[in-house]
């Protein structure tokens, strides 16, 4: 009986995401045995460095990629926004499965209900910049820990509210803790937020099995958003945000950044992803 070994980080969210991928593979390939291999990443071991620093270093994905390269696993499941735009030689993204909710949510209280000067938990420059544009009175602090830990810190009163990715909260079944979901008009998400990436070694049986769960539309929009990251060299320390829409009319790309030139938000269109990205870079002055 054929078998496929899926690598995952050890967090609750990573396991839930990987089990979802495993179920999808089993349904697509009846008779395929899919096992899950938990691998601790250097990012999970580091309890001191800011999350944005660890993500920029690829600390949450490298251990899984090494396991893929040395044959301990056949595929690896990543949160796409943690994945650097360049992978080690020989590794390819075989599938971008169905995308979860790409937007951000506020846990604790709604934005309009926060007191003047309230403290909001988020270490993301992107989230801080867009919230400060709306509520310049707010104070921001870094929140470490998994989704459950961050929500617990809100409940315990360490912060008045926290900004989290909707996908993580919803995948863990914690929707009841959401006070507000930010719309595209309020907060543009991180490039590829809500998408999963399943990596394999190119040309293997595992690649052929995993590519069958690829969603062409999700791949199209995710690759456009990741192209922006690649072209600008922007990492998690930047406030860059992007959200792509692809339809019969072409590509619409929403973008935001905040640097020494101040906050800037634009919406551009193009006949192709590369054209839209080029226009966005020009209009955001990146």
* Catalytic site positions: 81-82, 126-127, 144, 150, 236
Q: Which residues pair with 8 in a beta bridge?
A: 38
Among 126, 125, 124, 80, smallest CA distance to 255 is for 126
Beta-carbon contacts of 200 under 8 Å, excluding residues fewer than 6 positions away, are 68, 74, 75, 76, 91, 92, 94, 206, 207, 210
CA distances from 271 to 107, 218, 230, 247, 248 (A): 38, 18, 20, 10, 10
Classify the C-alpha dihedral 37-43-46-47 as positive or negative: negative
Are residues 102 and 189 in contact, defined by beta-carbon separation less than 8 angstroms?
yes
Phi first, then psi, for residue 62 (nearest 5°) are -60, -40
How many Å apart are CA 252 and CA 59, to the nearest integer? 32
Strand order in the sheet with 119-121: 139-141, 119-121, 161-165, 104-107, 178-181
Tokens representing 180? 């507000």
How does strand 33-38 pair with strand 3-8? parallel
How does strand 119-121 pair with strand 139-141? parallel
Phi first, then psi, for residue 63 (nearest 5°) are -60, -35
**Chain centroid to CA 272:** 23
């Amino acid at each position: 009986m054929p078998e496929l070994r899926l690598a995952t980080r050890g967090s609750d969210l990573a396991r839930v995401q990987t089990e979802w991928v495993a179920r999808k593979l089993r349904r697509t390939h009846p008779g395929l045995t899919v096992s899950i291999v938990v691998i601790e990443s250097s990012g999970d071991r580091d309890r001191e460095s800011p999350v944005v620093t660890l993500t920029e270093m690829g600390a949450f994905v490298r251990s899984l990629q090494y396991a893929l390269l040395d044959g301990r696993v056949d595929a690896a499941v990543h949160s796409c926004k943690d994945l650097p735009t360049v992978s080690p030689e020989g590794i390819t993204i075989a599938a971008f499965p169905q995308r979860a909710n790409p937007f951000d949510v506020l846990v604790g209280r709604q934005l309009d209900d926060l007191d003047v000067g309230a403290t909001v938990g988020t270490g993301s420059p992107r989230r801080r910049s867009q919230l400060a544009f709306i509520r310049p009175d707010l104070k921001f602090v870094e929140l470490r820990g998994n989704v459950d830990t961050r929500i617990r810190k809100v409940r315990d009163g360490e912060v008045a509210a926290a900004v989290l990715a909707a996908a993580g909260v919803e995948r863990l079944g914690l929707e009841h803790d959401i006070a507000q979901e930010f719309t595209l008009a309020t907060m543009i998400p991180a490039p590829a937020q809500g998408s999963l990436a399943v990596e394999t070694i190119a040309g293997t049986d595992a690649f052929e099995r995993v590519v069958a769960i690829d969603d062409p539309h999700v791949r199209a929009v995710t690759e456009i958003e990741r192209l922006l990251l690649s072209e600008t060299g922007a990492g998690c320390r930047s406030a860059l945000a992007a959200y792509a829409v692809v339809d019969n009319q072409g590509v619409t790309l929403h973008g935001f950044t905040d640097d020494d030139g101040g906050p800037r938000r634009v919406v551009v269109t193009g006949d192709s992803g590369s054209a839209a990205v080029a226009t966005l870079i020009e209009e955001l002055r990146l």
